[in-house]
Structure 1
């Protein structure tokens, strides 16, 4: 008899778990929606759980409908392209579900955290989401920019070290985004536009045919995290391999970055024409 009771209990328990899992399907899909970074793929997923009268509200937005919800997430990923979303256990009561969540970047630094409340329509769709942000967990925009600025500066500083100090091109390659662009002044004998790190390497190699270089003044760094830009200012001392003469030249280099990698570099010489003539002159 006890065995029969136990089997009945397990049967009922399994049924309850199955019901809960089925009820939570819209929330599982909702979380996948937020994790999908491709707008078109996300929109298709949204349509499976979201109606034109479904609403989303949090401190940043108050919207209704499928396309409007997709646009909210598009704007989110413009600000936080490397965001990773995770969530905690779900609490279910009737057609309501609530859970805590947090968002971190690719280096596991906390961006923000909070709690969502969802109302389901009982037909596998979401009627309403209300999101609350935890102010103690959420970083301010100023803090986010400060962290991004620090990360960008580290990347550029490492690039500078690899290029001018250690000549470690293997490590440098890990700092460069695929298809990154290097715009070198056309007037220089190794000038031009170089796309991709393999082309950068060819340009670096060609430049060594014209001069030996030493750093005369270490760089000063300037950064604008809101634009993902870093600018460095330093002075080089060059010895021409053709004439044997030496010259000092201040240089600034402008870096564009995205997701912690360099996407473009453009150096500016104090006097490009003078420097080009110096490199080409003979004894």
Structure 2
């Protein structure tokens, strides 16, 4: 008799486990959709668990349907392109599932956290999800932009120091994105468009054939984290190798960044024509 009860107990456990697993399948797909950066691929995932009248609500949105929900995630990645989503254990009760989650940036710093509640329709689909944010662990958009601005400034300041002071090209290589573009004014003897670190080093070497420089005024940094852009303003004292003449030249450099890497630099010289003539002039 004890064996019969024990077998019945095991069967009940297996049945409950199977039911729980079935109810967690749409939640696993839901989380996979949130982790998918490609909009089209994500929409295909959403359509397997989401209905035309399924709804999503959190402090940032209240939407119905597959396309609208997909757009919520699109907008999320516009604000947080390097976000990493993690989640905790799932609690299942009847047709409801709840769990805690966190969103981290690429450096594992907490952006926000919260708890989601999902209502299932019993057919492997989600009827409704309500997301609650933890205000104590949620950074405001202003805070996030400020953190991004700080990180971008560190990258650009390191680039400036490595190029103009320490001449540390090994470090520079770690700061730029593969395929990063450097736009030099065409009117300069070393002008042109240079793609990738190897081409950048050729441009640096070419410019060194024409002048030596000293930093006359340290840079002032202007930033716009919403555009991932840093602008540097500084002044150099250039000494032309052909003539030996010197020239004070204000320069601004516009630096584009993505995910903590420099993707493009475009320098602007106070008077490009004057600087080009200065470099070419002879004694």
TM-score by length of 2: 0.95
Deviation at 1:72, TM superposition (A): 0.9
Stretches of structure 1 lacking an aligned partner (at least 5 in a row):
none
Q: Which residue of 1 aligns with 2:12?
A: 12
Q: Which residue of 2 aligns with 1:134?
A: 134
In the aligned structure 2, how far is the partner of 1:52 from the partner of 1:160? Answer: 53
Q: Which residue of 2 aligns with 1:32?
A: 32
Deviation at 1:5, TM superposition (A): 4.8
In the aligned structure 1, how far is the partner of 2:172 from the partner of 2:13? Answer: 57
Q: SS of the counterpart of 1:47?
A: helix
Q: SS of the counterpart of 2:188?
A: coil
Q: SS of the counterpart of 1:112?
A: strand
The reply on whether 1:98 has 2:94 as its aligned counterpart is: no
Deviations 1:64-98 (A, max 9, x none): 11111111111110111000011111111100111
Stretches of structure 2 lacking an aligned partner (at least 5 in a row):
none
Q: SS of the counterpart of 1:166?
A: coil
Deviations 1:206-258 (A, max 9, x none): 11111112212211111111111111111111221111222221111111111
Deviations 1:118-175 (A, max 9, x none): 1001111101111111111110111111101100000101111111122222221221
In the aligned structure 2, how far is the partner of 1:3 from the partner of 1:215? Answer: 87
**1:108-147 counterparts in 2 under 5 A?**
108-147=108-147
Q: Which residue of 1 aligns with 2:205?
A: 205
Q: Which residue of 1 aligns with 2:238?
A: 238
In the aligned structure 2, how far is the partner of 1:120 from the partner of 1:238? Answer: 70
Q: Which residue of 2 aligns with 1:89?
A: 89
Q: 1:2 to 1:161 in 2, by over 3 A?
A: farther
The reply on whether 1:218 has 2:214 as its aligned counterpart is: no
In the aligned structure 1, how far is the partner of 2:118 from the partner of 2:169? Answer: 51
Q: Which residue of 2 aligns with 1:168?
A: 168
Q: SS of the counterpart of 1:138?
A: coil
TM-score by length of 1: 0.95
Deviation at 1:196, TM superposition (A): 2.1
Deviation at 1:50, TM superposition (A): 0.7
Q: 1:254 to 1:14 in 2, by over 3 A?
A: same
In the aligned structure 1, how far is the partner of 2:67 from the partner of 2:178? Answer: 32
Q: SS of the counterpart of 1:198?
A: helix
In the aligned structure 1, how far is the partner of 2:217 from the partner of 2:104? Answer: 38
How many residue pairs get aligned? The number is 283
In the aligned structure 2, how far is the partner of 1:226 from the partner of 1:219? Answer: 21
The reply on whether 1:159 has 2:162 as its aligned counterpart is: no
Q: 1:127 to 1:273 in 2, by over 3 A?
A: same
**1:29-68 counterparts in 2 under 5 A?**
29-68=29-68
